[in-house]
Amino acid sequence: METNKSEIRLMKGNEALAEAAIRAGLDAYFGYPITPQSEVLEYLTLEIPKRRGIVLQAESEVASINMIYGAAGAGARVMTSSSSPGMSLMQEGISYIAAAELPCLLVNVVRGGPGLGTIQPSQGDYFQATKGGGHGDYRLIVLAPSSVQEMCDFVFDGFKLAEKYRNPTLILSDGALGQMMEKVEFPGDGSLPHQIPAWATTGKKGRERNFITSLHMEPERMEEINLHLQRKYKEIEENEVRYETFEIDDAEIVLVAFGLPARICQKTVELARAKGIKAGLVRPITLFPFPKKIISDLSKKIDRFLVVELNAGQMVEDVMLAANGNCPVHFKGRMGGMLIQPEEVLEEIEKIVEESLTLNAGQE
């Protein structure tokens, strides 16, 4: 297939992500079927044999992530994808990958949990994604798309960031984004060149041996490794924060939402403004590094935040930390695979505004 030029197509989020991976120069994909992300593996097993790269259906997510470890360690550009229960199975391997500083792209098309849960969209894996997920002190770079176009774009950004920092990058999507169809524009092939890194295990031809490990028995050495990782995460926090804002200049109540709920909340802001409520929106694009500064700055000038998530309240904790008590932080969430409606968020805003008016009246 001709893919050396850019192209506009109508596609599912999962398929757009898979197509983007091929165009981004994916060397190898290892994965295991799980709803609602199986289209990624299906698309790649269909397309890769006709184009370039390796695609392999593993016997489990545990095997997939360890194949990723091996292939990334051998210097290949690699990706795996799964959905919530499968991501849980991968956590040990992800910890090893983060510790050994292997670049790779991970994708979680989140479904409702806990447990086997449901196959409907959720953001219940925010903690797992942004706080490490597996054992030990490590972080993933986490990108949260809110459209099919970003399911494509963040593949390129994800590989770039992973390779720049030698750190796994996670695209935190959800079941709705994975399944819904939208217009998406792809770049042509070859826009993201890749060279085999010098540290990769490719056979010690003409150099000292390379080895990939996360084992350091001396506590002094292990602490050094940890300090090095923490410096890297700090550097990522300084350089890679991404977010979008909408109508925040004169806002009194600012919604904070990531992924698909951010699009829903944009509609809420419009509805609220039509009713004379000065609402605005901050949409974190990188969940790690979290956009602390804009939250902190806003907390000093607005009345309150309302965090909207498809979970029981996870990112709200990061918003509270960044707001640092400067203003109240409210939360509205849906769980178990339920989406949220713009009107539902508007009702919550009205309720909060009314409560604050009553409270103020009482104080006077």
Partner 1 sequence: MPEEMLIDEMQCVYQKPGTLTDEYMHYCPGCGHAVAHKILMEVVEEMGLQEDIIGVAPVGCSVFAYNYMNIDMQEAAHGRASAVATGIKRVRPDKFVFSYQGDGDLAAIGTAETIHTINRGENILIVFINNGIYGMTGGQMAPTSLFGQKTSTSPYGRDVAHNGYPLKITELIAHLPGAYYVTRQAVHTPNTVRKFKKALNNAFEYQKLNKGTCFIEVVSNCPSGWKMTPKETLTYIEEKMLPEYPLGDIKVPTQNKN
Positions in the binding site for partner 1 (CB under 8 A): 27-28, 30, 54, 56, 58-60, 62-64, 66-76, 78, 92-93, 96, 201-206, 209-215
| Nearest distance, CB of residue 155 and partner 1, angstroms | 19
* Residue 292 C-beta: closest distance to partner 1, Å: 33
Q: Which strands, in side-by-side order, build the sheet including 54-57?
A: 54-57, 28-31, 78-82, 105-110, 169-174, 141-143, 286-288
Note whether 245 and 281 are within 8 A (CB): yes
Q: Which is nearer to partner 1, 55 or 251 (CB)?
A: 55
What is the closest distance, in whole angstroms, from the C-beta atom of residue 202 to partner 1 in the complex? 6
Burial 57-78 (b: 16+ CB within 10 A, else e): ebeebbbbbbbbbebbbbbbbb
Nearer to partner 1, 76 or 349 (CB): 76
Least Cβ distance, residue 310 to partner 1 (angstroms): 31
Q: In the bound complex, what is the minimum distance in angstroms from residue 140's beta carbon to partner 1?
A: 17
Residues 111 and 337 sit within 8 Å (Cβ to Cβ)? yes
The count of C-alpha atoms lying within 13 angstroms of the C-alpha of 276, restricted to the half-sphere facing its C-beta, is 1
Cβ distance to partner 1 smaller for residue 135 or 183: 135
Residue 111 C-beta: closest distance to partner 1, Å:
24
Taking each helix axis from N to C terminus, what angle separates 13-23 and 38-47, rounded to the nearest 10 degrees? 40
Rank residues 91 and 356 by Cβ distance to partner 1 and give the closer one.
Answer: 91
| Token pair of 305 as six digits | 């935040």
Choice between 180 and 212, CB closer to partner 1: 212
DSSP output for 251-268: -SEEEE--SHHHHHHHHH
Q: Smaller CB distance to partner 1: residue 168 or 342?
A: 168
Phi (first) and psi of residue 169, to 5 degrees: -110, 140
